[in-house]
Structure 1
């Protein structure tokens, strides 16, 4: 089984998953994280080394006791050496405890950096990238993959680091006591080396495939749940169940593959623990007869090999988790490798004039939905964009807001192409408010201050009044009322009002309303739109709407049909022209 192929340069594959970071990128990211916690890493290594050194004292002293007793040593001498064994054991216990404590703190701090970095990279993704990737892949990387990395840092990393230091010290002690016995024992451990190499060559790709399959399951189940009403209305239940079953089966196959890898690795490792002890005892017994080694040296080496089984067992048990963590870390870091559209810093917009020149646009793998659109929006005017469903109104709104980039043609703000403005600069000029609104966990105040962190309570109250929000005053804690799980749950209409209030706080020069009041009842919507018009007086407002009273109140109306602007003028002018707009107006009034 092979890992999913990834595009070169971190580009997002069309219709495919998000990229996975390559080995070089993962190494650089890991080195960067270690450097940020350099002192903790040095302390961890030092404590682990001291703990491992303390662990060597017991077997060495036991060998001394055997040889000294054979040489006629008294009980007092043996008691002193026995106390030394106890002292070494206690020192190893304390040093090991502090080593693990240091390692766990390192893991938690590093995991916090990984989480924060992942959130920052996701928030920096261009909107089209996130939409094409799908919520399932992002959600799986941000939850399951980050959790796997966390487990590796908190447990696998510390345990393996302690175990590896112990292995090095134990092997060094064995070779120091008897190089011949040490080499013979090491040869018996070669099975672990070959089995581990075989496993590592296959595990990374297997776990990458498993992660991709898990993302697919999340995407299928999430999209089915989100569109449950549509599925039921169109009778798509069997088709969606079949799609989910296929995704789950692919996930099962990838998990079975990694399970088979483990089923080969661990039996070989278990056998390799016993073989060195038996070999050392047999060869040591033969050499003792020649006087090459003492019986104490044989016992010490046998105990060291027996002691070696514990840290090696930890390494092998956690190596699987490390492979999972490595694959998950590559998926998490891969989000940062997406090629974002280049921002060249084309300069400051001269004014708030928006020009659309020869714009064509097509969604991924589809035909053009906009066909050579030309439009100028003058600063301070209210422009209504109307037309039948599928005419391209929302697509045009996204292009005006810089959420998408034209296939050909250009959209400029104050003479500067939208593609050359960095997001922060663009948002100061243009803000898009769509039909989709989100209420964040936190208080009402928190939700509003997303747009203006320094806003006072008086300013927040004024903004709420401007968009006709009176329900906040009726909440038990007013602006301090918690929203979301465990708190007050706003309905769709209230969520839309909060979104509009955030827009007023952001105070952009140009506001694009894409059915932004569609969830309000007609009377409330009309009243809210008039209140917004009063608050945003002097600002440019582009309203994309099906309710034609919006067009009636606008300075100009752009009529779209089939991806083109077919009419442009005031409400009165278009009615007099008796074209498509006049037909829409008569139909809307039931004439």
Structure 2
């Protein structure tokens, strides 16, 4: 299993979470169980009354007695139908409410995940858990839970009726229960690990497919199609192997179960016949006992079917609940920053152990300063931006704002002070307004329109319903530059003191990007701005420029100072300026 994957809840954690889920609506669950028990008790009447009819007829009772007992059978069957109907109705309602609580808890747990953990795990893992695993649990909670309670109630009451009728016949049930117990013990020892392996294979398949689809242009440009197809085939083959393992477990369990169902009724008829001919029991008792043992087949079959489904559900629940087991990557210290100066001292950082990408970074950013960070691709600029924003913690050294480490701040406090906007952006399904007020839920329409105007989003006037225009699949879809302007407008609404713009305008054309940056500069005057960019006009307008190369800050100073120094920045400036003349 990939060590970067999100964790799995262990058996104890799954049991505790399942019990908490069941107790979430204890009164409704109690009512459901009572109704199912009443339905099971009502269902016991028919075999007993049928046996009573046989004995009464055998002793010479009249047609009136038989009719009365027949009407009683009909009455009990009607009662069973009603109890079962209302029990299922309440059971499914209970299941839907439990499923809703589970989904809400999963969303809360997902939103609490540290960004770095989500990035390491990959989108495929979280996507598989939030779709396939949650859907599997939906089936379990909606159907398996009511059906298992029904089956358990019928099994308990039928066995009790057989014992009351004649304890000797209960021994016949052992002929079915013993092989079922053995095969289920064999199955359960193997099922959880097999279904977890199947879930992990599905995750790997989703990861590979998603990566291939997202990088389709790169795959085509570099001729990587055969390699990506081979990677996809490998994950599909592994998924097939794990699925065959779980299928093999089922093909062993169910035939043994089917054979076991025949044994008790055959034994009841055989031994019951011997007892009847030796005047130990009446014919009615033999018939009633045989019918009871025959009635055991359906609830046991249902229970076995859903036990098999529960193994899938248990594996899915372990994956869903595993999200809640992710440890927070920071514990707020409670200290209050004094001022907004950012200090970076002796920072080293590595994505992979033993391979630092930042080496001894020292930097001080004054409150209200505009700092441009430039340098070649892969130099560590974006990594530095993530550390400044508190997304990741340095391996060595410290990043502080107002004297407090950014990773010691509560997430809400950190986001009020520092905001990171990257070239990656997302438009959520909903209206334009919904997408923007995520940054400030109390924002008025005037504030939203002002934010869009600030970043030059003039395309709003072309939308059919303005701010009420639905965005996303099946509705209006924004192109990449428009989506980036949505992200920048959110930044304007959030109004943090320190802004870290990591290629935030890279998808806009140069003219639009410069206009957006100037508009942002005008609105965010007095705030600290750290702009990570390839376009050197951002550096020209900045108070200071930091050149990052090879994971180190190699030059630091104002634009004029660095040009006069004649170093790498001066060479970049001359080259860029010459291309734009």
TM-score range, shorter-chain basis?
over 0.9
Determine if contact 2:350/2:356 at 8 Å carries over to the other structure: yes
1:75 aligns with 2:63: yes
Is residue 146 of structure 1 aligned with residue 137 of structure 2? no
Query: Using the alignment, how far apart are the partners of 2:415 and 2:574 within structure 1?
Result: 37
Matched, 1:481 2:469: yes
Q: 1:114 aligns with which of 78, 102, 113?
A: 102
Residue 34 of structure 2, aligned match among 34, 42, 46: 46
Contact 1:21 1:334 in 2 (8 A): yes
Alignment of 1:198-277 (within 5 A): 198-277=186-265
Does structure 2 retain, via aligned residues, the 8 Å contact 1:141–1:331? yes
Match of 2:85 in 1: 97
1:174 is aligned to 2:174: no
1:390 is matched with which residue: 375, 378, 383?
378
2:369 to 381, 401, 418: 381
Following superposition, the deviation at residue 364 of structure 1 comes to: 2.2
For 1:326, which of 307, 314, 333 is the aligned residue?
Answer: 314
Deviations 1:504-524 (A, max 9, x none): 000000000000000011011
Distance, in Å, in 2 between the alignment partners of 1:154 and 1:74 is: 48
Match of 1:64 in 2: 52
1:546 aligns with 2:534: yes
2:172/2:265 contact within 8 Å kept: no
Residue 184 of structure 2 corresponds to 196
Aligned with 1:555 (options 537, 543, 548): 543
Change beyond 3 A, Cα 1:188–1:501: closer
Pairwise CA distance, 1:128: 1.1
Q: How far 1:83 moved relative to its partner?
A: 0.4
Aligned-partner Cα distance in 1 for 2:176–2:438: 63
| 1:461 corresponding residue in structure 2 | 449
SS in 1 for 2:531: strand
Deviation, 1:344, is 3.6
Number of the residue aligned with 2:388: 400
User: Following TM superposition, where does structure 1 have runs of at least 4 consecutive aligned residues deviating by more than 3 angstroms?
Assistant: none
Q: Deviations over 1:215-269 (max 9, x none)?
A: 0000011101111111111221111111111111111011101111111111111
Return 135-144 or 108-117, whichever deviates more: 108-117
Q: CA RMSD in A?
A: 1.1
Residue 512 of structure 1 is matched in structure 2 by: 500
Quote the offset at 1:182 in angstroms. Answer: 1.5
Corresponding residue of 1:521: 509
Q: Give 1:346 shift.
A: 4.0
Structure 2: distance between partners of 1:183 and 1:373: 78
1:21-40 counterparts in 2 under 5 A? Answer: 21-40=9-28
Asked if 1:284 is matched to 2:284, the reply is no
Name 1:8's counterpart in structure 2.
none
Superposed displacement of residue 289, structure 1: 2.2
Aligned position for 2:484: 496
Contact 1:346 1:416 in 2 (8 A): no
Whether 2:284 is the aligned partner of 1:296: answer yes
| 1:9 equivalent in structure 2 | none
Determine whether 1:314 maps to 2:302. Answer: yes
CA contact (8 A) 1:346 1:417 kept: no
Whole-angstrom CA distance in 2 between matches of 1:356 and 1:111: 46
Write the distance in 1 (CA, Å) between the matches of 2:195 and 2:94.
Answer: 25
Q: Whole-Å Cα distance in 1 between the matches of residues 131 and 433 of structure 2? A: 27
Paired residues in the alignment total: 579
Tell me which residue corresponds to 1:412: 400
Match of 1:362 in 2: 350
Structure 1 residue 365, shift from structure 2 partner: 4.1
- Per-residue CA deviation, residues 293-332 of structure 1 (Å, 9 max, x unaligned), is 1111100000001111111111112221111111100110
Q: What residue is the counterpart of 1:572 in the other structure?
A: 560
Query: Secondary structure of 1:411's match?
Result: strand
| Distance across 2 between alignment mates of 1:147 and 1:393 | 41
Q: Which moved more, 1:396-405 or 1:106-115?
A: 106-115
1:374-416 C-alpha deviation (Å, 9 max, x unpaired): 0000000111001111111111000000111111000001000
- What SS does the corresponding residue of 1:285 show, helix, strand or coil? helix
SS for the counterpart of 2:443 is coil
Match of 2:335, SS state, is coil
Aligned 8 A contact 1:175 1:183 in 2: no
Distance 1:562 1:133 in 2: 27
Q: 1:528 to 1:342 in 2, by over 3 A?
A: closer
CA contact (8 A) 2:175 2:260 kept: no
**Per-residue Cα deviation, 1:201-225 (whole angstroms, up to 9, x for no partner):** 1111110110000000000111011
3-state DSSP class of the match of 2:458? coil
Q: Does the residue aligned with 2:318 lie in a helix, a strand or coil?
A: helix
Whole-angstrom distance in 2 between the partners of 1:366 and 1:522 = 39
What secondary structure sits across from 1:47 in the alignment? Answer: helix
User: Could you tell me how far 1:366 is from its partner in structure 2?
Assistant: 5.8
Residue in structure 1 matching 2:72, options 81, 84, 93:
84
Paired with 1:271 and 1:92, the residues of 2 have a C-alpha distance of 29
1:160 matched to 2:160? The reply is no
Displacement of 1:564 after TM fit? 0.7
**Structure 1 residues 414-454: Cα deviation after superposition (integer angstroms, max 9, x where no partner):** 00001111111100110000000100000000001000111
**Equivalent pair of 1:189/1:276 in contact (CA under 8 Å):** no
